[in-house]
Amino acid sequence: MQRLCLVNRYAVGWAGAALLWLARAAGAEPTPVARLDELAHPLTRADALLAQSAIDFPPAAADAAVQITGVQLTPTDGGIEILLETNGKRPLRGQKAGEGNRLSVDVPNAQLRLPDGRIERRADPAPGVTAVTVAPFGAVGVRIIVETEGPLPLSELRQTERGLLLSLLGGLEEEVVVTAQKTPQKPQDVPISLTVLPRQLIEDADITSLRGIAQNTPNFTIFDPGGTRSFFFYSIRGLSNFNFASQDGAAFYIDDVPYDYGSFITQELTDLERVEVLRGPQNTLYGRSSQAGVVNIVTRKPANRYAFTGLAGYGSNNNLDLRASVNVPAVADQLFLRLSGNYGRRDGFFTNTFLGTNLGGVAGGTGRGQLLWTPSPNWEVSFHANVDDYRDRGYAGLIRINPDPFRLEQNFDGFNQLNANTQALRVFYRDENLRVSSITARRFSRQESATDADFSILDGATFTNVFSSTVWSQEIRLQSPESAKDFQWLFGAYYESREFQTAKDGFNFNSQAPLVFGEAGIAGASLLRSADTGAQTYAVFGQASYKPGAAWTLTAGLRYETNRSLLRAAEQVFAIPGFPATALTAFSNVEKNGDALLPRFTAEYRFAANAMIYGSIARGYKPPGVNIRPETADNTAFEAEFSWNYEIGLKSAWFDDRLGVNLALFHNPVSNYQVNPLDAFGIPRGVTNADVAITGGELEVRAKLSQGLDLVAGFGLADAWFADYTDRATGQSFNGKRLPFAPALTYNVAVQYRGWGGVFARAELVGRGSTYFDEGNRFRQDPYALVNARLGYEFGDYGIYLYGNNLFDTRYVTLAADGPSGSILGTVGSPATFGAQFKFKL
């Protein structure tokens, strides 16, 4: 196994040399490469927050304040032109920044001198532009703020004889800006394996869940039981060791708020601005440490205009889907409110022929409110709150996978209920010298479920559990201004407190328990666990990037984190009616502490204006913790998980950005990998540690084939296996076995057309390679592919769509495990579904 690790490392090294050879073969020379801010940009995206300007400015001119004596707004055929008129010939410097539908241009060497000392504000100055504001900024500076109805279009910023001219060019294709590195950038400028799903793609593909995000992201897979919101597994780059007892391998964020456990983020995701999936450790930029990567979900911000959007849909299995959002400027130019939410219900895909009911039905919704206050151009204060309430029917477990897995017999349907609420306060300040962010958040989640434990018509037993979690977090970041070019820096601090409790976690034996479980099954008895745990995290982190030359960028980051986990109490109680309850196991006041120093180094070489190669080394970490289901004293706690992630990559755009090709190769040896084995009932029985090795890569391609016709494709490989792992309970060695829930291959291909006569069409192919569900590799799902399609007609602010998911009704398993008495438990994926939707906006 060690030899294979060395081979993988050499493979990554040779691949890096090949990328560099390709760069030189393309005619690249290191010295004459121009810096980004020295290149001509006739068309730059309005929300592309790069430190660039249209012309070179002498240092003396940058220090002298230029008087702006007039502001001219001129609607054009494609957008609007905003001219800052000056009283002299000295040029103005402009720095663009934006996100979502808000663009700002900072002019640091200017003073506003309008008649009567007024500030220029215009509402609805042009179609698609809802507001333009020109106001003083800092001691000597002026800021232009432009808000648009939809995503920001392309823009051009240039100096003219009359002054500085900002042109918004409507009708052209938008380009996405991300904040993966906590500063606005084009995705192609981020030296990280990154998948970005912008607003338009999210709407076109109708992405409303983590499953939808994963289907459009290479090396990211969600395993959900029959389309329900019951506990699911996920994998990013082969790292799939999710467990309630430990911190997630990936960090999930919604609007800068960290979500504590993956299964508590199974609600519908509506009103999204974009999604960023960063693969690999991201410990020097984000408050919560992440081993596998970060899933950063950003919702639409409140804006200075009235707006309403809605969607109504109906489909297979009585699937009702209602969504809406409303935007209100409570106080013009200063206080904005946005409300959004959804409600949905659907019958289950599974028929219980014994009770004449269906299993796997879902019902519920989510509501979100955002209040944004902008007291001045320098400040943004926002309050976010959301509520989730879902009451679903139980999922269907299968014994010895049936010929028709959607028909079964059992005497209890079960249920799964999820209730959660979140509150967050975000304060953001920026001036010409720095930016400051503060995010204070609280999140409460409670999930209760009950399942037929024997999955048969016998009244054997039910399995129940109640999980509840409360998380408080505080993150503070200080960083360089967006105008920083050669040297950029970020420093942050993070605190998190988590309280996690379990109750009624186990089995209630019913009247026919002896027929199912033999001597272990006593009618009326119960075998239940409970646990009370807490955890605290303190961390400081930082990162700095320096450009030693025109083509090079060097980045170094460091994080120090300390963790404390406490198992206050955990017990397993066996109770028989008429007899005193017996505690089979009982543990209390078990503490597990740890800390880690996590460096990151990145080198980036830009060999052309739209192409770069990069290499990075980063240390990953999952903190130690305590088990919520300890069996013995020696497994009440588990060790910290560490890794080194070696990555090289290529990011490129060709033919005037009509073709984009991104490639990343990685090798990731992990020590003390936190394994979460299942017991004879398919229930996690506690965390143990192992050593694993993962090697793979991602390839992403986007192409504009013709006007209105686009192609997007992603491919992911992950060779993930145990290097050293022996099950402590059985003594069995799993060395050389593949990691469970880690597909060897993932791919997604989408072709989309939007154009003539309002026609819209989209076809998707989503595939997964061989996947194992257990450490011994006894249960395997062979490779499979799903085909999805959407067809629509769009007219003005309205759209009608037909959709079909899993068109060919492909059958596939999402979970398989040993069950009681030699049985096999499993769940299957969603079958073919069809429906129609109507969208509108006002």
Average pLDDT, the chain: 85
Task: Give the pLDDT confidence score for residue 262 in this predicted structure.
Answer: 57
Taking phi first (over 0 means left), then psi (-120 to 50 degrees means alpha), and beta for anything else, what does residue 196 get? beta
Give domain status of residue 448, yes or no.
Answer: yes
Say how far residue 423 (Cα) sits from the centre of its chain: 19
Low-confidence ranges of the chain (pLDDT < 50): 1-62, 171-173
Give domain status of residue 320, yes or no.
Answer: yes
How many whole angstroms separate alpha carbon 162 and alpha carbon 81? 13
Beta bridge partners of 659: 654, 703
CATH number at residue 423: 2.40.170.20
The string of DSSP letters for 738-771 reads: BPTT--SEEEEEEEEEE-GGGEEEEEEEEEE--E
Identify which of 629, 768, 621 has the alpha carbon closest to the alpha carbon of residue 251.
621
Q: Strands 350-352 and 407-408, how do they pair?
A: parallel
192 CB-near residues (< 8 Å, 6+ apart) = 180, 181, 278, 279, 280, 282, 616, 649
Q: Is 458 exposed, middle or buried (0-12, 13-18, 19+ CB in 10 A)?
A: middle
How many whole angstroms separate alpha carbon 232 and alpha carbon 209? 13
Say how far residue 486 (Cα) sits from the centre of its chain: 29
Contact by Cβ (8 Å): 16, 648: yes
Beta bridge partners of 601: 556, 617
Give domain status of residue 203, yes or no.
Answer: no
Structure tokens at 229: 């919101």
Beta bridge partners of 761: 753, 791
Give domain status of residue 2, yes or no.
Answer: no
Q: Is 291 exposed, middle or buried (0-12, 13-18, 19+ CB in 10 A)?
A: buried
Same domain, 704 and 557: yes
How many whole angstroms separate alpha carbon 602 and alpha carbon 282? 12
Task: Give the pLDDT confidence score for residue 175 in this predicted structure.
Answer: 56
Q: Is 261 exposed, middle or buried (0-12, 13-18, 19+ CB in 10 A)?
A: buried
Contact by Cβ (8 Å): 86, 70: no
| Integer angstrom CA distances of residue 442 from 326, 383, 467, 502, 638 | 25, 12, 17, 19, 27
Last residue in a domain, options 134, 169, 204: 169
Task: Give the pLDDT confidence score for residue 59 in this predicted structure.
Answer: 41
Give domain status of residue 176, yes or no.
Answer: no
Q: Strands 110-112 and 66-75, how do they pair?
A: parallel
Q: Which helix or strand (DSSP H or E) is residue 502 part of?
A: strand 487-509
Contact by Cβ (8 Å): 787, 803: no
Q: How far apart are the first and last CA of the chain?
A: 61
How many whole angstroms separate alpha carbon 222 and alpha carbon 241? 13
CA 687, 689, 691, 697 torsion: positive or negative?
A: positive
Last residue in a domain, options 101, 134, 169: 169
Task: Give the pLDDT confidence score for residue 136 in this predicted structure.
Answer: 86
Task: Give the pLDDT confidence score for residue 7 in this predicted structure.
Answer: 38
How many whole angstroms separate alpha carbon 594 and alpha carbon 786? 43
Domain assignment of residue 376, given as a range = 299-841
Amino acid at position 432, single letter = E
Task: Give the pLDDT confidence score for residue 42 in this predicted structure.
Answer: 34
Identify which of 566, 502, 572 has the alpha carbon closest to the alpha carbon of residue 533.
566
Beta bridge partners of 801: 792, 837
| Integer angstrom CA distances of residue 510 from 517, 682, 787 | 11, 19, 43
Task: Give the pLDDT confidence score for residue 56 in this predicted structure.
Answer: 38
Amino acid at position 440, single letter = T
How many whole angstroms separate alpha carbon 660 and alpha carbon 244? 39
- Cα dihedral 118/125/140/39 (nearest 10): -160
Task: Give the pLDDT confidence score for residue 229 in this predicted structure.
Answer: 72
Last residue in a domain, options 139, 169, 199: 169
Q: Which helix or strand (DSSP H or E) is residue 16 part of?
A: helix 2-25
Identify which of 140, 141, 163, 144 has the alpha carbon closest to the alpha carbon of residue 155.
144
Q: Is 821 exposed, middle or buried (0-12, 13-18, 19+ CB in 10 A)?
A: exposed
How many whole angstroms separate alpha carbon 418 and alpha carbon 393? 11
CATH number at residue 118: 2.60.40.3500
Contact by Cβ (8 Å): 647, 615: yes
pTM of the predicted model as reported, rounded to 2 decimal places:
0.82
Q: Is 713 exposed, middle or buried (0-12, 13-18, 19+ CB in 10 A)?
A: middle
Q: What angle do CA 393, 396, 400 make, to 5 degrees?
A: 170
Instruction: Give the gyration radius of the chain's Cα atoms.
Output: 28
Give domain status of residue 283, yes or no.
Answer: no
Task: Give the pLDDT confidence score for residue 117 in this predicted structure.
Answer: 65
Same domain, 163 and 304: no
Task: Give the pLDDT confidence score for residue 184 in this predicted structure.
Answer: 79
Give domain status of residue 187, yes or no.
Answer: no
How many whole angstroms separate alpha carbon 690 and alpha carbon 595? 19
Give domain status of residue 219, yes or no.
Answer: no
Total domain count, the chain: 2
Identify which of 374, 311, 395, 377 has the alpha carbon closest to the alpha carbon of residue 138.
377
Task: Give the pLDDT confidence score for residue 87 in this predicted structure.
Answer: 75
